[in-house]
Amino acid sequence: MTQGAAFKTVLASVLALGLAACREDEQGRPLYHKPGVYKGQPDTKLDEQQRETLRQRTRHQFD
């Protein structure tokens, strides 16, 4: 294998690896984060029964 062919093979391998690393589920995600700024969805309100269930669960933690 000549030096030029080896270079082309390595270059093609690096290019293929770089393209494979760009997964679709990672596209559009935030890359820069500001401390103290939450950009997610707002939390949903808990109803009274959900709150009571949580109260009962936490009572067992302090026994």
Render 35-56 in DSSP notation, one character per residue: TT---SPPPPPP-HHHHHHHHH
Contact between 33 and 42 under an 8 Å Cβ cutoff? The reply is: no
54: confidence class by pLDDT, cuts 50, 70, 90: very high
Do the beta carbons of residue 39 and residue 30 sit within 8 Å? yes
Report pLDDT for 38.
86
pTM of the model: 0.38
pLDDT at 55: 92
Q: How confident is the model at residue 63 (pLDDT cuts 50, 70, 90)?
A: low
pLDDT digits (tens, 9 = 90+) for 11-48: 998 888 877 767 777 677 777 888 888 888 899 999 99
pLDDT of residue 51: 95
